């Protein structure tokens, strides 16, 4: 059989762009492409997911954990629609992901045909940088080249739509050398982007003038660990981390204050409250109430994307550049701060915080304090571990309780904060790094939403991974806990059981049923042992931990308003009132005791 459009599409992705695998799900809108996989000898590899949204999450995880573009594939109509949430996750976290989707035959388009959806319009927002439908075989080469290059250059989502009849037509790999044709080539070289000297000088002046410098680093600093540390040392600064930047600097450094925000730490809060200068690097952390008040601090921001500067705090100097290169260029211009009093006070706060974290994790709960799960994991994290977290209370404990070390990676759905990314991210991580341990931290709600189904993907593909350590921990609190607490603390509403309560499912048994390992943990003294067993198991393992929904994932400080809302929830008959009060006091009281 001579080469088809679909063969050419896969060959272009694989040979010209180096795409190793595509996450997808079949349907008649992409039959031609699926058939081409059958002929391509796994170049690229087709990875079958349970749901197209998961394919998009996995492609996003691939991008997050490799820096390469991730690729996902779905059929026309319903398959394409299923992709959307995962694609938005990638777009909002600035990840390069290319979606290839099928469409009904060209002859039927516009005929209200079955599964005919206006896909160009559907994807026009999520893939607004580039969404194109092919109508001619000769377009495929440049549509692939442009979708890949624009995704990488703009760090965003792009989309190529291919009608199913076109997929089976003979390929046109070289368009005629004639008016009206396009002759593209593959490849994208990331440029070195550094601000010019006068801009660096102005930034250095602001930073040198400050005596209490706070740094806030995000996902854009993940490759700039050394540079962040060197600049923080020169400035005597403390370093807070936005959630996506958790792995940017290790938590064992004494001046790293940890996460910031609703799921942040007290030292990060204090750092921002008391600083006189703010240096923000590669972050678009959204919550302004956790940043200094306007006018309190002079600001410098570094970001690779000119659209992302000056939107969270009115900065005095905005530097557009790569974070590592820009910090390195800045370093010789910085005066080493002689007075280290600020740094020392921050370090005291950090040490105190870690003691408090330990203390909180060991407070009794009914039956298991969720913090204990993270605390015990943190002590046992294997070198090179890759952590993924779902949205929900797992994200709070991941942010606060896990001490990430050098050489590890971690991510979650940061900006979209969608539920359901934890397990598919772990699968994407495992395919990208099959020789590294991967740990997914997931709520029972997210597990029921899609994690349980996606365990099947793990069971299906696990033989391919030389390192079998893939652990999914389920916080079985029988509650959509994060939202329950938001309702209590933000709007003062009592827990509404019909929307919040979840059935107790036997997650570990389910895992065993499909050939994975399963461990059910019902008592606090079993938690450490469960981690030891799961991390030494000969197969991917699910740990089902029965945790207490009344341990509050509260922000590092409670505002008067939150306290008032909280009281209102209790007064309006929250079903957990009695236990909430005792747990809240247990968790928060030590913070206010003398000597803290």
Ligand X SMILES: Cc1ncc(C[n+]2csc(CCOP(=O)(O)OP(=O)(O)O)c2C)c(N)n1
Decide: is 444 part of the binding site for Mg ion (CB under 5 A).
yes
Q: If we measure between CA atoms, which residue out of 319, 343, 351 comes closest to residue 333? A: 319
Closer Cβ to ligand X, 164 or 583, answer by number? 583
Residue whose CB is nearest to ligand X in the complex, by number: 443
CB 423 → ligand X: shortest distance, Å? 11
Among residues 75, 104, 477, 484, the one that binds Mg ion under rule CB under 5 A? 477
Site for ligand X in 432-471 (CB under 6 A): 443-446
Nearer of residues 96 and 451 to Mg ion, judged by Cβ:
451
C-beta of 156 vs 391, nearer to ligand X: 391
Give the shortest CB-484-to-Mg ion separation in angstroms.
9
Return the axis-axis angle of helices 225-235 and 323-330, rounded to nearest 10°.
Answer: 30
For Mg ion, the binding residue among 457, 481, 541, 583 (CB under 5 A) is: 481
Residue 452: asked if its preceding bond is cis (omega within 30°), the reply is no
Find the shortest distance in angstroms from Cβ 500 to Mg ion. Answer: 9
Nearer to ligand X, 158 or 484 (CB): 484
Residue span binding Mg ion (CB under 5 A) among the ranges 294-302, 440-448, 510-518, 521-529: 440-448
575-581 contacts, C-beta under 8 A, 24 or more apart: 575/494, 575/495, 575/497, 576/495, 576/549, 576/550, 579/366, 579/550, 580/488, 580/550, 580/552
Q: Output 151 or 480, the one with its CB closest to ligand X.
A: 480
How far is C-alpha 258 from the chain's CA centre? 17
CB nearer to ligand X: give 465 or 566.
566
Q: How many CB atoms lie within 10 A of CB 117?
A: 17
Q: How many helices (H) and strands (E) does the chain have?
A: 23, 18
478-497: contacts with ligand X (CB under 6 A)? 479-483
Give whichever of 35 and 505 is closer to ligand X, judged by the CB atom.
Answer: 505
Q: Are 56 and 90 in contact (CB under 8 A)?
A: yes
Q: Minimum CB separation from ligand X for residue 375, in Å? A: 16
Separation between Cα atoms, residue 119 and residue 271, nearest integer Å:
47
Rg (CA), the chain: 25
407-426 binders of ligand X (CB under 6 A): 417-420
Q: What is the nearest approach in angstroms of ligand X to the Cβ of residue 336?
A: 44
Which of helix, strand or coil describes residue 396?
helix
Q: Which helix (H) or strand (E) holds 586?
A: helix 577-592
Q: Is 475 in the site for ligand X (CB under 6 A)?
A: yes
**Pick from Mg ion, ligand X, none: which does 482 bind, CB < 5 to 8 A by kind?**
ligand X
Distance CA 417, CA 395 (A): 10
DSSP class of residue 317 equals E
Least distance in angstroms from the C-beta of 414 to ligand X: 12
Taking CB within 5 to 8 Å according to partner kind, which of ligand X, Mg ion, none is near residue 347?
none
| Number of neighbouring beta carbons within 10 Å of residue 179 | 5
301 binds, among ligand X, Mg ion, none (CB under 5 to 8 A by kind): none
Q: Judged by CB, which is closer to ligand X: 427, or 452?
A: 452
Cα–Cα dist 559/161, whole Å: 49
| Of 467, 411, 466, nearest in space to 67 by CA | 411
Task: Give, as ranges, the residues between 372 and 401 that touch ligand X (CB under 6 A).
Answer: 390-394
CB 259 within 8 A of CB 272: no
Residues 453 and 344: their CA atoms lie apart, in Å, by 49
Q: Which residue is nearest to Mg ion (CB)?
A: 443
In this complex, which beta carbon is closest to ligand X, that of residue 244 or of residue 320?
244
The CB-of-480 to ligand X minimum distance in angstroms stands at: 4
- Report the alpha-carbon distance of residue 218 to residue 224 in Å, rounded: 10
**Residue 227 interacts with which of ligand X, Mg ion, none, CB < 5 to 8 Å by class:** none
Closest separation between CB of residue 291 and ligand X, Å? 23
Residue 587 and residue 397 in contact, taking contact as beta carbons nearer than 8 Å: no
Question: How far is residue 554's CA from residue 232's CA, in Å, rounded to a whole number?
Answer: 29
The verdict on 576 binding Mg ion (CB under 5 A) reads: no
Q: How far is the CB of 542 from ligand X (least distance, A)?
A: 15
394 touches which of Mg ion, ligand X, none (CB within 5 to 8 A by kind)?
ligand X
Residues in the chain: 596
Query: Residue 162 or 244: which CB sits closer to ligand X?
Result: 244
Quote the CA–CA distance of 191 and 176 in Å, as a whole number. 32
Tokens of 306: 């000119």
Q: Closer to ligand X by CB, 160 or 480: give it.
A: 480
Residue appearing with tokens 């909180």: 360
Contact residue for Mg ion among 267, 443, 451, 540 (CB under 5 A): 443
Q: Count residues near ligand X (CB under 6 A).
A: 20
Residues of this chain that bind Mg ion (CB under 5 A): 443-445, 477, 479, 481
Residues of this chain that bind ligand X (CB under 6 A): 390-394, 417-420, 443-446, 475, 477, 479-483
């Amino acid at each position: 059989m001579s080469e088809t459009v679909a063969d050419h599409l896969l060959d272009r992705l694989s040979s010209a762009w180096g795409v190793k695998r595509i996450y997808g799900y079949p349907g008649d809108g992409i039959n031609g492409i699926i058939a081409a996989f059958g002929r391509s000898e796994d170049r690229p590899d087709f990875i079958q997911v349970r749901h197209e949204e998961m394919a998009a999450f996995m492609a996003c995880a691939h991008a997050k954990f490799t820096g390469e573009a991730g690729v996902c594939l779905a059929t026309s109509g319903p398959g394409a629609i299923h992709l959307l949430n995962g694609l938005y996750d990638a777009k909002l976290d600035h990840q390069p992901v290319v979606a290839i989707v099928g469409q009904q035959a060209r002859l039927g388009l516009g005929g209200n045909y079955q599964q005919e959806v206006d896909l160009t319009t559907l994807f026009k927002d999520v893939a607004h940088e580039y969404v194109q439908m092919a109508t001619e075989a000769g377009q495929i080469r440049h549509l692939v080249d442009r979708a890949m290059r624009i995704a990488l250059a703009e760090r965003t989502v792009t989309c190529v739509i291919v009608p199913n009849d076109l997929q089976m037509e003979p390929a046109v790999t070289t368009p005629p050398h004639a008016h009206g044709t396009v002759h593209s080539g593959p490849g994208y070289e990331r440029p070195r982007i550094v601000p010019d000297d006068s801009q660096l000088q102005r930034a250095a002046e602001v930073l040198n003038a400050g005596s209490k410098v706070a740094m806030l680093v995000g996902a854009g600093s993940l490759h700039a660990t050394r540079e962040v540390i060197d600049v923080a040392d020169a400035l005597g600064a403390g370093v807070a981390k936005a959630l996506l930047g958790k792995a940017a600097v290790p938590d064992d450094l004494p001046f790293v204050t940890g996460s910031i925000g609703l799921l942040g730490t007290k030292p990060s809060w204090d750092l921002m409250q008391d600083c006189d200068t703010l240096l923000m690097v590669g972050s678009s952390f959204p919550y302004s109430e956790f940043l200094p008040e306007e006018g309190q601090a002079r600001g410098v921001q570094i970001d690779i994307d000119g659209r992302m500067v000056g939107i969270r705090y009115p900065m005095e100097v905005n530097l557009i550049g790569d974070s590592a290169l820009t910090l390195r260029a800045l370093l010789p211009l910085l005066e080493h701060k002689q007075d280290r009093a600020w740094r020392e006070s921050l370090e005291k706060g950090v040490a105190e915080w870690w003691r408090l974290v330990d203390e909180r994790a060991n407070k009794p709960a009914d039956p298991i304090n969720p913090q204990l799960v993270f605390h015990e994991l943190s002590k046992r994290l294997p070198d090179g571990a890759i952590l993924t977290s779902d949205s929900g209370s797992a994200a709070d404990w991941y942010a606060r309780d896990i001490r990430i070390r050098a050489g590890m990676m971690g991510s979650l759905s940061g900006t979209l904060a969608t539920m359901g990314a934890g397990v598919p991210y772990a699968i994407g991580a495992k395919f990208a790094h099959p020789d590294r341990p991967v740990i997914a931290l997931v709520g029972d709600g997210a597990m029921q939403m899609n994690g349980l189904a996606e365990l099947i993907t793990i069971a299906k593909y696990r033989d391919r991974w030389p390192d079998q350590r893939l652990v999914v921990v389920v916080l079985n609190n029988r509650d959509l806990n994060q939202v329950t607490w938001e309702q209590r603390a933000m709007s003062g509403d009592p827990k509404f059981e019909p929307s919040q309560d979840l059935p107790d499912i036997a997650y570990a048994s389910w895992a065993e049923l499909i050939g994975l390992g399963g461990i059910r943990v019902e008592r606090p003294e079993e938690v450490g042992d469960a981690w030891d067993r799961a991390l030494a198991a000969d197969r991917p393992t699910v740990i089902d931990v029965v945790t207490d929904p009344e341990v509050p994932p509260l922000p590092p400080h409670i505002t008067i308003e939150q306290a008032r809302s909280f009281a209102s929830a209790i007064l309006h008959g929250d079903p957990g009132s009695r236990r909430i009060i005792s747990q809240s006091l247990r968790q928060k009281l030590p913070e206010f005791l003398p000597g803290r």
